[in-house]
Structure 1
Amino acid sequence: MIVPLAEDVAQAYSLRPVTSRELLEAGLKELYESAGRKLPPELTKRLDGATDPAAFLSVVVDARVSLGKVDELTVPRAFVVAAKGFTRATDAFCGLSLRGNTSPMSSDAEFGLGFELDGATGEAWLTYVLGTQMANQAVIPSPASFPWHVTRVIPGSPASRAGMRVGDVVTHVGEQVVDAKSHNSLFRLLAAPTVSPMAQFGQIERPTTATSFRVKREGAAVAEFKLLRDGYTPESIFGVTRRENGLWDFLIDREAKIGYVRVGVVEPPAGGAFEEAVTGLIQGGAAGLVLDLRWCPGGYINPAVSITDVLLPPGKVIVNIQTRKPEQFSGQPVYVSKFGGGTDVFYKLPLVVLVNHETTGGGEMIAAALQDHGRGLIVGQRTFGKANVMNVVAVSLADGSPTGLGFRVSTGFTLRPNGKNRHRFADSKPGDPWGVKPNRGFEMPTTPDLSARLRAEAEQFAARPAGSRNAVPYDDPLEDPQRLMAVRYLKELIRAADKKSSGEKK
């Protein structure tokens, strides 16, 4: 498996030339180091002399035999570790994922229900998915830590709508107790990771039936839920309060008529949802908008373009794409605004954009386009600096059957509308051009602890179901001083614009 993957990645990776030999050496080094050993020099020499897949495979087999038995390095785990090593020869953003998942914050093991368990993410989850393919019907150890602690609830999911919370401890699945004896088989029942041969993106087949859960909460409270796997679209556009009907209210200051929209993962539904939110605000007479891109983990180019398009006049460059292999990129080399919200009200609406060091990828793309076109005020902290375009190479078993996994590969970069770099490379310095900096004089430093607390509170707030009377800290505007400051800056912009307009009329 690892040799064909190395060949596919070498062909697809576009930031610089890389060979199968380099990838395999990097993978074997990772494998050996995970076992506390160094890759023997003779194996490196044999890789140098290998000229075809069969020769590479012979080296890989001998390397694994030479390593000997290591309890933690099962066959699927060894593959995941070796594939992780490919990042040594490519870049830190490449790596294994569920097939089709090019967004780093998209869910891992959410069971089609919208909640994640402690331990069942990242490499542990990928190893489990691959292991179940190899073990066929055998029950293998669950990656979830026992007891089952809920670590994430996805907004808009069945779990979110039912009121499941981060911190809940799942004690029952149906009438079955989750205990030391049953948790492996119950996890297998929930995950049901049998990948359909017809699946194009490695979707996981699960029965579309309701499953009941019982959870224990802090203070010994018990809650029960019945969750239905009926398919759902995760929310990625959030407002100020959630109405009883589940829709968001986007007004943060009713007296001043100021709107507020926070963007989460930039996935396909986000563009339409953002346009709908801004349209509703404008129809309601909004005087300005705070666009919150803090903690936005990025996502996909098209929805990021759609979001930006709403706030720019037609004919403005949103993003440039740079790649060494244009034939491997299915999108456009340049994306230009077309919609402009439909009327000039959209692209003349006073705007403040909140960013921080966790604003990544697509979120940075939006902020950079708005900044380059003088569209609003960028406030906060310098962004993360991720601008590489990703594609996914499928991972198959030795017999060619699908695994449900893919390998994310960097195929190019997005550049700012002005053509400047936005990506932070491994050797980038603070003075180099990367990320998006706030407008001069509008930096808002914060401590890592405060940023982490605000992010956790914002996510808890977003996942709270409609009609809930459960108060969370984020309900209090004073809990988020950065957002309050953004509203203050926006009021100043509006007053300045009104004063200018009055002067022009005289």
Structure 2
Amino acid sequence: MPQKNVVSLLLVAVIAVFCWQAAQSAPREDQDAELYRLFVDAFEHVDRNYVKGVDRRKLMEAAINGMLGELDPYSNFIDQSHYRQFDRQTSGQFGGIGIQISEKDGILTVISPLVGTPAYEAGVLAGDRILEVNGESIRGMPLRDVVSRLTGPEGTDVTLSIQHRPYDKEPKEVTLKRAIINIESVLGDSHDKNDAWDFMLDDDNKIAYIRLNAFTKQTAEDLTEALKELEAEGMKGLVLDLRYNPGGLLESAIQISDLFVDEGKIVSTKGRNTIERKFFAKKDGTLDEFPMVVLVNSSSASASEIVAACLQDHQRAIVVGERTWGKGSVQNVIELEGGKSALKLTTASYRRPNGKNIHRFPDSDEEDEWGVSPNDGFLVEFSPEEHRSYFRDRQKRDRVLGKRSELIKANGDDGNAKEEDNGDDEAKPFEDRQLKKALSYIREQLGEEKGKDGAPKEEATDKADTEKKDAEATADAAETD
């Protein structure tokens, strides 16, 4: 056949295919156009005719939220006022002064300064009251608005009017220079004398304890640094606490899992319009020469479940505690308006290394396969009161009171003012049964649970409990922080 005829036939075939595709897509395009007109008509009628004036932007954001609300609980719209905060949480960094704050009766109170930050170095203390920011009263101001005034570009100044504990009659002014604040996501059980986290919980048996409260861009790097320090101290066992951890970045969960597993699949993800992705462990840098426990509970979700499932399936760690939340979906953050707002949209689901499901669907019951369950014999459930007691105890132990500085001296004391009584002291110390079970298992693995005659060896006293009792005794005797 002449080449000219072949080209003509190919051209006819291409045109035919194009026309067929156009014919197939035409109904869909017509339908979409009709739906868009429906939305615009409804929007315009509400805007023009509703009994009161409406904010068009709020109306549009409500429409977007309504649309996403039809999908699942995890897809949502992040508006301009919340996107900066969301970005801070996932990146783990922001420009600020480094304090944790809360509002009570319209008064802003410092929960704790963050170690090494401008606020900590300036002597801002837990319990201090902040009355003004840059000369503006913040009494009764929404917490979100206060945070926006305290945060800002690195190197800029912010002036606070502070009443130092125990609340001097006259507030003092202090000007702080904002710095890049790293949000702590890698924490220990208690602080040492320099206010740094002490990750070695049991000195006698060299059992470390690390708590992750989020999975940010910084978490894997910070965890690696903590593990290096612990290796230098002779770590022989590790408790990784993921309780109450709502998750975070998929990449962070993969990196952290890879620290402890030397080969095999970590997790797999599959979306509607994407091929299945499988993530595998690499041997380089793996820490797999010590017994390990992962603590989880019903509030451990998403990235927490990826790590717990991976270490459990590879028999790298025993899982202790309660069945996890059951969130086996991945959300993709899609920036809108040039990065001023975003869609957090569920785009894929994930499965644990053994291929089993993690996600708890709306019609799932207790007998179905979802979440990450503790290993046999390691289910330790907290009562509602134990959960509350845990948080009260944890808040006290996490708090950093502060350090001496010119600000403290200006208030006429030595920085040892008695901490305000919040009235939440318990009759007896909180017993963390889940942590106790984890420590018992690791000690057994290290051969520390039984004496030479085979009789049970008296359980080693946790350093954290000893330090807590010593601190309470010192506070009672000297009425100091």
**TM-score, normalization by structure 2:** 0.70
Q: What letter matches 2:43 in structure 1?
A: V
Aligned to 1:28: none
Instruction: Name which of 33, 58, 65 aligns with 1:84.
Output: 65
Whether the aligned pair in 2 keeps the contact of 1:104 and 1:297 (CA below 8 Å) is: no
Aligned ranges for residues 451-462 of structure 1 at < 5 Å? 451-455=387-391, 457-459=393-395, 461-462=397-398
Deviates more, 1:215-224 or 1:291-300: 215-224
Partner of 2:331, secondary structure, is strand
Whole-angstrom distance in 1 between the partners of 2:250 and 2:148: 30
1:210 corresponds in structure 2 to: 157
Matched, 1:191 2:148: yes
Q: 289, 298, 302: which one pairs with 2:251?
A: 302
Which residue identity is paired with 1:447?
Answer: S
Deviation at 1:225, TM superposition (A): 5.6
Match of 1:415 in 2: 351
Pair 1:491-2:474 in alignment: no
Judge conservation of contact 2:90–2:249 (CA < 8 Å) in 1. Answer: no
Correspondent of 2:261 among 312, 318, 335: 312
Residue by residue over 1:197-248, the C-alpha shift from the partner in whole angstroms, topping out at 9 and shown as x without a partner, is: xxxxxxx965742223234588646787644322222111011333455542
Kindly indicate whether the alpha-carbon contact (under 8 Å) linking 1:353 and 1:378 is maintained by their aligned counterparts in 2: yes
Do the aligned partners of 1:150 and 1:167 also contact (CA within 8 Å) in 2?
A: yes
Larger mean CA deviation between 457-466 and 237-246 belongs to 457-466
Cα shift readout 1:253-272 (whole Å, capped 9, x = no counterpart): 10111110001110111111
Q: 5+ residue gaps in structure 2? A: 1-30, 405-415, 452-481
Aligned twin of 1:252? 201
- Alpha-carbon distance in structure 1 between the residues aligned to 2:189 and 2:429: 9
The structural deviation recorded for 1:316 is: 1.8
Counterparts of residues 319-338 of structure 1 (less than 5 Å): 319-326=267-274, 333-338=277-282
CA gap of 1:158–1:447, structure 2 versus 1, over 3 A, is: farther
Which amino acid counterpart does residue 263 of structure 1 have in structure 2?
Answer: L
> Which position in structure 2 is the counterpart of 1:41?
none
Q: Is the 8 A contact 1:147 1:170 kept in 2?
A: no
The answer (yes or no) to whether the contact 2:131–2:138 under 8 Å persists in 1 is yes
Structure possessing the higher radius of gyration over alpha carbons: 2
Q: Is the 8 A contact 1:287 1:350 kept in 2?
A: yes
Q: CA deviation at 1:437?
A: 0.5
In 2, Cα distance between equivalents of 1:309 and 1:101: 29
Q: 2:330, 2:265 → 1: CA distance?
A: 18
Deviations 1:270-326 (A, max 9, x none): 11111222222223222211110111121111221111111112x221111111122
Q: Give 2:306's aligned residue.
A: 365
SS state of the match for residue 486, structure 1?
A: helix
1:177 corresponds to? 137
Is the CA contact 1:390–1:410 (under 8 Å) kept in the aligned structure 2? yes
Match of 1:502 in 2: none
Cα shift readout 1:16-48 (whole Å, capped 9, x = no counterpart): xxxxxxxxxxxxxxxxxxxxxxxxxxxxxxxx9
**Conserved in 2, the CA contact under 8 Å of 1:243 and 1:466?**
no
Distance 2:68 2:392 in 1: 29
Residue of 181, 189, 196 corresponding to 1:240: 189
The residue identity in structure 2 corresponding to 1:381 is E
One-letter amino acid matched to 2:59: A
- Aligned match of 1:93: 74
Please say if residues 220 and 256 of structure 2, whose CA atoms lie closer than 8 Å, have aligned partners that are also in contact: yes
CA contact (8 A) 2:95 2:154 kept: no
Q: Which residue of 1 aligns with 2:432?
A: 480
> What is the SS of the residue equivalent to 1:454?
helix
Indicate the larger mover: 98-107 or 268-277: 98-107
Output aligned runs, 1:361-440, within 5 Å.
361-396=302-337, 402=338, 404-440=340-376
Which amino acid is the alignment partner of residue 495 of structure 1?
G
Structure 1 range deviating more: 456-465 or 437-446: 456-465
1:51 aligns with 2:34: yes
Amino acid at match of 2:432: D
Query: Aligned equivalents of 2:312 and 2:267: distance in 1?
Result: 12
CA contact (8 A) 1:104 1:299 kept: no
In structure 2, what is the Cα distance between the partners aligned to 1:407 and 1:173?
Answer: 32
* Alignment RMSD (CA, Å): 4.2
- TM-score scaled by structure 1? 0.67
Which segment is superposed worse, 221-230 or 483-492? 221-230
Contact residue 289 and residue 350 of structure 1 kept, 8 A: yes
Pairwise mapping of residues 150-161 of structure 1 onto structure 2 (< 5 A)?
150=109, 158=118
Determine which of 285, 295, 298 is the counterpart of 1:354.
Answer: 295
Q: Secondary structure at the match of 2:159?
A: strand
Q: Distance in 2 between matches of 1:216 and 1:449?
A: 35
Q: Which amino acid aligns with 2:251?
A: N
Structure 1 counterpart of 2:475: none
Q: Which amino acid aligns with 2:340?
A: G
SS at match of 1:412: strand
Tell me how far 1:381 sits from its aligned partner. Answer: 0.5
Structure 1 residue 350 displacement after superposition = 0.5
One-letter code aligned to 1:271: A
Map 1:260-275 onto structure 2 (within 5 A).
260-275=209-224
Q: Distance in 1 between matches of 2:112 and 2:77?
A: 23
* Preserved contact between residue 262 and residue 291 of structure 1 (Cα < 8 Å): yes
Q: Secondary structure at the match of 1:495?
A: coil
Identify if the C-alpha distance between structure 1 residues 311 and 190 changes in structure 2 by more than 3 Å, giving closer, same or farther. closer
Query: 1:358 & 1:269 partners in 2: Cα distance?
Result: 22
- Write the distance in 2 (CA, Å) between the matches of 1:49 and 1:286: 61
Equivalents in 2 of 1:427, 1:223: separation in Å?
Answer: 57
Deviation, 1:160, is 6.5
Of 422-431 and 49-58, more deviation after overlay is shown by 49-58
Q: Name stretches of at least 5 consecutive residues in structure 1 with no aligned partner.
A: 1-47, 120-144, 194-203, 397-401, 500-506
C-alpha separation between the residues in 2 aligned to 1:370 and 1:466? 38
SS of structure 2 residue aligned to 1:303: helix
Aligned 8 A contact 1:275 1:341 in 2: no
